[in-house]
């Protein structure tokens, strides 16, 4: 719906806000849609944003790439023994996996990686690991969370204004003392919010110092040295694993191709046209595995172990880097904290001296 925001007769300009949108623009738009037989968005619980193509396919009852990916993820999680085995199963289903801060998946031929962990914490690396170790049905039933849930965003809904008899009864109950005036929490200013965030950060730093028994600069220096040494060792181990994975890349891809292209082979053998390229790729993968001289079961087990080891090393490296960042932040904050303490003590001393003079 399009309209001119400036009244041509009076020159008044329309200013949009949540109240005017839901009470005026949204109501007029819904009425016009109903009059012309168009769909109307029903207000309810806030839903996750999806692309137009995905929404269109969902409204028609058709499968989307995201729904297919989530179905494959659930099946792989159900069948996997550990995280490395899960990655192996997803590659055998024809997905490329991007490791990093968030897991990304894409089918061969797709341009972009899909990151399902953005919408569902079950599909993050930690969620997948915990789910494999636990029970998928218990997590999906809601008896226990896969990871710590974040507070869901809820849009502002204005409090309803009572009219007529309802307003009369509310006013009468208020006069009788049966209900009280609504109490609003004090509004937090921007400065107060910054101070609250700073206090929370200081509390986290204090807990870190206490847990690691760091009481002075010498302890901090020793802890930094140990952490950097551990990080260097983990990085070296990850490099060795990546080198081994790169050497075996041709065999690992052949393993994935034989599993992912098995349905295409069957369709080609049944006489379906258009499967010539997939069948040729399948035969090439089978030939590669036969020429390598390594039993297939051994290669599958080795690949799962390498993937599991890489996932564990990445997790440990992230933890060590977080410790280093926290240590450097503490070292940077110590002079500032000392300065603030000196100022506070000087003010308290001045206040005590003023009180002494008044006596």
Q: Please say which residue of 140, 169, 204 terminates a domain.
A: 140
Question: Do residue 107 and residue 218 come from a single domain?
Answer: no
User: For residue range 221-254, what is the model confidence (pLDDT) as tens digits?
Assistant: 899 999 999 999 999 999 998 899 889 889 988 8
| CA distances, 187 to each of 16, 151, 192 (Å) | 23, 20, 10
Q: Which residue has the higher pLDDT, 146 or 131?
A: 131
Measured CA distances, 349 to 51, 102, 259, 344, 354 (Å): 62, 52, 76, 9, 9
Structure tokens at 338: 């000392």
3-state secondary structure of 207: helix
Q: What's the confidence (pLDDT) of residue 44?
A: 47
Range in 89-93, 121-125, 146-150, 171-175 the model is least confident about: 146-150
In which band, very low, low, confident or very high, does the pLDDT at 35 lie, cut at 50, 70 and 90? confident
- Asked whether the predicted pLDDT for residue 213 surpasses 80, the reply is yes
Q: For residue 180, is it within any domain?
A: no
Does the pLDDT of residue 45 top 50, yes or no? no
Same domain, residue pair 272 and 351: yes
Whether 122 is covered by a domain: the verdict is yes
Same-domain check for residues 238 and 345: yes
Check whether residue 85 and residue 121 sit in a common domain.
Answer: yes
Tokens representing 115 are: 């990151």
Asked if the structure places residue 155 within a domain, the reply is: no
CB 328 within 8 A of CB 205: no
Q: Which residues contact 176 (CB under 8 A, 6 or more apart)?
A: none
Diameter over CA atoms, the chain: 105
Mean pLDDT of 121-128: 85
Per the CB < 8 A criterion, the answer to whether 299 and 244 are in contact is no
Residues 206 and 300 in one domain: yes
Per the structure, the complete domain to which residue 124 belongs is given by: 63-140
Residue 29 lies in a domain: yes
pTM: 0.54
309 and 240 fall within a common domain = yes
Distance (Å, rounded) from C-alpha 138 to C-alpha 164? 49
pLDDT at 124 (0 to 100): 86
pLDDT band (50, 70, 90) for residue 56? low
Q: How far apart are CA 235 and CA 232, in angstroms?
A: 5
36 in a structural domain: yes
**Are 196 and 339 in a shared domain?**
yes
* Domain assignment present for 160: no
Domain boundary among 101, 123, 140: 140
Q: Look at residue 292 and tell me if it is in a domain.
A: yes
Question: Could you tell me if 301 and 351 lie in one domain?
Answer: yes
* Shared domain check, 213 and 293: yes
Q: Are residues 132 and 28 part of one domain?
A: no
The HSE-up count of residue 123 (CA atoms within 13 Å, CB side) is 22
Same-domain pairing of 130 and 225:
no
- The number of residues making up the chain comes to 359
Asked if 289 and 343 sit in the same domain, the reply is yes
Is residue 147 domain-resident? no
User: For 60-188, where are the alpha helices, taking DSSP H only?
Assistant: 65-79, 83-92, 125-133, 136-140, 164-175
pLDDT score of 287? 92
Instruction: State both tokens at 72.
Output: 């494959």
Q: Cβ-count burial of 58 within 10 angstroms (0-12 exposed, 13-18 middle, 19+ buried)?
A: middle
What span, in angstroms and rounded, lies between the C-alpha atoms of 326 and 206? 11
Q: What is the count of structural domains for the chain?
A: 3
């Amino acid at each position: 719906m399009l309209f001119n925001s400036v009244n041509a007769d009076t020159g008044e300009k329309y200013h949009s806000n949540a109240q005017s949108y839901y009470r005026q623009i949204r109501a007029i738009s819904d009425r016009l849609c109903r009059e012309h037989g168009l769909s109307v968005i029903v207000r309810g619980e806030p839903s996750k944003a999806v692309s137009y193509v995905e929404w269109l396919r969902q409204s028609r009852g058709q499968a989307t790439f995201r729904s297919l990916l989530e179905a494959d993820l659930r099946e792989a999680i159900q069948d996997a023994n550990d995280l490395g085995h899960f990655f192996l199963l997803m590659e055998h289903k024809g997905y490329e996996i991007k490791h990093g801060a968030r897991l990304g998946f894409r089918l061969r031929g797709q341009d972009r990686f899909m990151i399902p962990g953005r919408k569902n914490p079950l599909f993050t690396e930690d969620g997948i690991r915990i789910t494999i170790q636990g029970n998928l049905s218990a997590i999906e039933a809601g008896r226990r969370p896969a990871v710590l849930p974040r507070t869901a965003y809820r849009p502002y809904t204005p409090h309803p204004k009572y009219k007529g008899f309802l307003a009369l009864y509310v006013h009468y109950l208020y006069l009788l003392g049966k209900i009280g005036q609504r109490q609003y929490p004090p509004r937090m200013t921007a400065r107060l919010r910054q101070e609250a965030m700073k206090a929370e950060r200081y509390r986290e730093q204090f807990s870190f110092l206490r847990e690691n028994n760091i009481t002075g600069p010498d302890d901090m220096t020793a802890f930094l040295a140990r952490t950097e040494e551990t990080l260097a060792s983990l990085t070296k181990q990850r490099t060795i694993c990546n080198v081994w994975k790169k050497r075996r890349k041709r065999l690992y891809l052949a393993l994935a191709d034989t599993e992912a292209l098995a349905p295409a082979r069957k369709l080609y053998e049944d006489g379906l046209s258009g499967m010539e390229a997939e069948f040729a790729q399948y035969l090439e993968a089978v030939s590669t595995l036969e020429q390598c001289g390594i039993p297939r079961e051994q290669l599958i087990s080795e690949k799962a172990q390498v993937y599991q080891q890489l996932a564990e090393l990445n997790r440990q490296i992230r933890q060590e880097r977080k410790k280093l960042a926290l240590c450097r932040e503490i070292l940077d904050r110590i002079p500032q904290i000392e300065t603030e303490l000196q100022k506070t003590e000087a003010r308290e001393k001045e206040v005590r001296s003023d009180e002494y003079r008044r006596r």
